[in-house]
A and B are shown apart, each in its own frame.
Chain A
Amino acid sequence: MSFQPSQPGCIMGFPGNSDTTQYTPHNALLRRLPIMFFLILTLSFLLIGKSDAAEHIIRLTAEETQDDGFGNKLLAYKMLGHVVDGVDITDRYSTAATIPGPTLVLTEGDTVKLTILNEIPGNASAVAGISKQVSVHVHGVHYNILSDGTLKVINKHLDEGAGAGLEDTFAYYEYEWNVAPGTAGTWPYHDHNFESHNGSDNKGLFGAIIVNPIGSHSFAKEYVLYLGDDAFWGMEIDGVTKKQSKYGVNPSLAAAKNSDVRFHLIAMGTDIHKFVLNGYQWFDPGTHHLINQVAIGPLEKHVFTVKAKQSTRYMDNHLSNKLMGMAGKFNVH
């Protein structure tokens, strides 16, 4: 792996020097090249068998957003650009920083190059013992240790984020994900580097990736609901336009009557939640058991589909969250 850490303290430094990799082609190698090329081409058709495997180029930034009501600024991810095999799909996303962050919809077999930038004020100046970096640590998909999105104190290589970390400072950082077979599912991504090695998913730096199996059918609506310690943070994706909307606290979700919709629950914070969608039952993932309530702990995911029949409310039955009004509308019309 052609990879070298850049010098700590160099603000514009960015890890990586693959362009300087020395290839010294000699005749023997050159002669083998066409054969190898043909082999790889054949293999890529035989093994992959998925000419639809896409390459995603994604650029995210993190910035301060609204006050949390207690004088603390919340942080949020914002989509700067998403290009899939050369096609720009950035207009699917909000132009503002959102909580949760943009939902990245991927397919098994895809690859992702995701660059994180940092627009939180003061992030470039190092402070001893406090990380100013933001990172993207993703769950579920494959990546090597340099795309873990953690601080060097954890990964033993680098502070893998944008901004001044404990040891390394980077203006931006690129992660590479292999959305390999066997990674289908919904997974969280979140910061792991802001202020400490735990990151600040509690301040709003979290989002979801949805990895669909090849050939999976689509849904009329997809809802991502993050279960926080006092509120849902959610968003909605339209199945046809793929546009993302309704970001924010306890969003009112909408569905057409008798349409198939999919809920993606991810918990965060510290509470263990008891999610219900009143009047609905769904299959516990991977089983044939119908359930109407699920216990879900921080960073677990729970994905289910229902046919939209009647309007109702989704809510968290965890006592303290229930008392805080942690619920939202599911409007069927």
Chain B
Amino acid sequence: MCIKQADKHTEDKDNMMNKKNIPGLGNPTSMLTVLILFAVTFLISPMALAATHYFTMTAKTLPNGQLGYAMGGTEGGSDVEAAIPGPALFVKQGDVVNVTLFNYTASDVGFKVPGLKNKNTTKTRPGQAQKYTVQANKVGTYVYHGDGRELLGLFGALVVDKANGPIDSYVDDNGGIIPVTKANLDKQFVLFMVGATFWGTEISGDGTQQKPLWTNPSLGAVENDIVRFHILSVGPGHTFHLHAHRWLKTGTNTVIDTKLLDEGSDTHTFTIKAGSGVGAGDWQYHCHLFAHMEAGMHGSFRVDPLAVMAPVLQVHHLTAEFYWVRKTNPVW
């Protein structure tokens, strides 16, 4: 599916004001004014770049009785296809997120984003539509949900990235911490942990192409792909573990490979280089709560080898080759 959204950048009025003052540069007072205006422009520029997003979404009943969101919608019915999780919404810090929600389920449905401000807490009646506005003023990944119906499938991800600069970092195979911009991303995954099930979406690096993967999906990547994971939960808590990969505890340089998603609603976003230091393989991801493991809450992150194999006699490869050699018998 392709997300339609409209961005309206506010005009940079301050720039024009600056220009007016240029002829008076010789005057110290004018100089000071210019400096102040420059400082003000600099300070508010992130705000000046802020966008207003208009999303239209439809809440529908799926054939199995669960509820899901679809991107798009019209009055008097909707033929758009709903999925679980709902479409991932990508915005930047300072943006305004407007969501027009069409409710074609049999129950009242709201639009709630725990952790962000939303004045409208009124639920939308079946067959009705309503507008919700959220201020994306804090960087992070947020759950949006149907305010009461989330455990039936009405949940999705709202990702708020920094307006400028790198959005994340990954741990390279030599331990280096490498910043990544959105342009560096090869792909993204949203994985919702709900009950004893993962619900997934595969998303292009830029966020525009999204494909529902449904439950406990097999995820695919090629070695060295830069992959961003958005792990979210609603309901009781979980821990997310991905075999043989490491990443950063949010906002720190502490390396982790398992992350708690506490009960209620919680999120954790991280970026990895697929197969970094470990190579290709079917690497399991799973909830590490024993009861959930027993309930089958797992899937595979399949990392395919690069099509072109590095020559064996490359010097840096020799040490790796030496390292991975297996002995027929142990030494004792």
| Inter-chain contacts of B332 with A (CB < 8 A) | 57, 59, 81
The answer on a CB contact under 8 Å between A299 and B288 is: yes
Complex contact A155–B288 (CB within 8 A): no
Q: Is B39 an interface residue (CB 8 A)?
A: no
CA distance A296 to B237 in the complex (A): 11
A300 within 8 A of B: yes
Report yes or no: B237 in contact with A272, Cβ–Cβ below 8 A: yes
Residues of B288-332 contacting chain A, CB below 8 A: 288-294, 300, 315-316, 318-319, 321, 323-332
How far is it, in angstroms, between the C-alpha of A101 and the C-alpha of B118 when the chains are bound? 50
Q: Given A178-B277, A182-B255, A184-B255: A298 and B239 within 8 A (CB)?
A: yes
| Closest A residue by C-beta to B237 | A272
Q: List residues of B (261-292) whose CB comes within 8 Å of A's CBs.
A: 261-263, 277-284, 288-292
A180: chain B residues at CB < 8 Å are 173-175, 277
User: A111, A148, A268: which has the most chain B beta carbons within 10 Å?
Assistant: A148
**CB-CB nearest in chain A for B321:** A1
Query: Within the complex, what minimum Cβ distance (angstroms) separates B187 from chain A?
Result: 21
Q: Known: A14-B328, A300-B239. Contact between A183 and B246, CB under 8 A?
A: yes
Using C-beta atoms within 8 Å of the partner chain, give the interface range for chain A.
35 or more
Q: Tell whether B238 is near chain A: CB-to-CB under 8 Å.
A: yes
Is B249 positioned at the interface, with any CB of A under 8 Å from its CB? yes
Asked, given contacts A40-B315, A297-B237, A299-B288, whether A285 binds B328 with beta carbons under 8 Å apart, the answer is no
Taking a contact as CB atoms closer than 8 A, the residue among A17, A137, A196, A296 that contacts B328 in the complex is A17
Note all chain B residues with C-beta closer than 8 A to A15.
326
Q: Is the CB of A298 within 8 A of B281?
A: no
Chain A residue contacts of B238, Cβ below 8 A: 297
- The chain A residue with its CB closest to the CB of B241 is A299
- Interface positions, chain A 8-44, Cβ under 8 Å from B, are 14-19, 36, 39-40, 43-44
Are A16 and B294 interface neighbours, CB within 8 A? no
Interface string of B230-254 (1 = CB under 8 A from A): 0000000111010110100101111
Q: Counting CB contacts under 8 A, is A241 at the interface? A: no
CB of B225 within 8 Å of the partner chain: no
Neighbour of A143 across the interface among B257, B278, B292, CB < 8 A: B278
Q: Which of B174, B241, B252, B259 contacts A182 (CB 8 A)?
A: B174
Question: Is A287 on the interface with B (CB-CB < 8 A)?
Answer: yes
Q: Which residues of A contact B284 (CB under 8 A)?
A: 148, 150, 154-155
A3: chain B residues at CB < 8 Å are 326
**Which residues in A have their C-beta under 8 angstroms from that of B328?**
14, 16-19
A156 contacts chain B at the CB level, 8 A cutoff = yes
Give the one of A115, A174, A272 with max B CB within 10 A. Answer: A272
Instruction: Assess whether A140 is in contact with B315, with CB atoms less than 8 Å apart.
Output: no
Beta-carbon nearest neighbor of A184 in chain B: B255
- The residue that A297 contacts in the complex, of B176, B254, B288, with Cβ under 8 A, is B288
Instruction: Tell me how far the C-beta of A119 lies from the nearest C-beta in chain B, rounded to whole angstroms.
Output: 16
The reply to whether A57 and B281 contact each other, CB–CB distance below 8 Å, is no
We find that the number of chain B residues with CB closer than 8 angstroms to chain A is 58
Contact with B326, one of A174, A202, A270 (Cβ below 8 angstroms): A174
Is B281 touching A183 in the complex (CB atoms < 8 A)?
no
- Asked if A39 meets B326 with Cβ closer than 8 Å, knowing A57-B331, A139-B258, A287-B251, the reply is no
Q: Do the beta carbons of A145 and B281 come within 8 Å of each other?
A: yes
Chain A positions within 8 Å of B2 at CB level? none
One digit per residue, 1 when the CB lies within 8 angstroms of any chain B CB and 0 when it does not, for chain A 108-135 equals 1001010100000000000000000000
Q: Which residue of A lies closest to B176 (CB)?
A: A182
B180 within 8 A of A: no
A172 and B289 CA atoms in complex are apart in Å by: 28
Q: Are B290 and A140 touching (Cβ within 8 A)?
A: no
- The chain B residue with its CB closest to the CB of A1 is B324
Pick the contact of A198 from B294, B324, B327 — CB < 8 Å? B294
A148 touches B243 (CB 8 A): yes
| Chain A stretch 161-210: residues in CB contact (< 8 A) with chain B | 172, 174, 176, 178, 180-185, 187, 196, 198, 201-202
* Least distance between B226 CB and chain A CB atoms (Å): 16
Could you tell me if A295 and B260 are in contact, using CB atoms closer than 8 angstroms?
yes
Complex interface: chain A residues within 8 A of B281 (CB): 144-145, 148, 155-156
Binary A-proximity of B14-48 (CB < 8 A = 1, otherwise 0): 00000000000000000000000000000000000
Query: 10 interchain pairs (CB within 8 A)?
Result: A18-B328, A40-B319, A44-B319, A115-B330, A139-B241, A150-B243, A178-B323, A270-B291, A296-B260, A300-B260
Residues in A lying within 8 Å of B, measured CB to CB: 1-3, 14-19, 36, 39-40, 43-44, 57, 59, 81, 108, 111, 113, 115, 137, 139-140, 142-146, 148, 150, 154-156, 172, 174, 176, 178, 180-185, 187, 196, 198, 201-202, 267-270, 272, 285-287, 295-301
7 nearest CB pairs, A to B: A182-B175, A286-B252, A145-B281, A286-B254, A181-B175, A297-B260, A16-B326
A297-B237, A300-B259 given. 4 additional CB < 8 A pairs? Answer: A180-B173, A270-B291, A296-B260, A300-B258
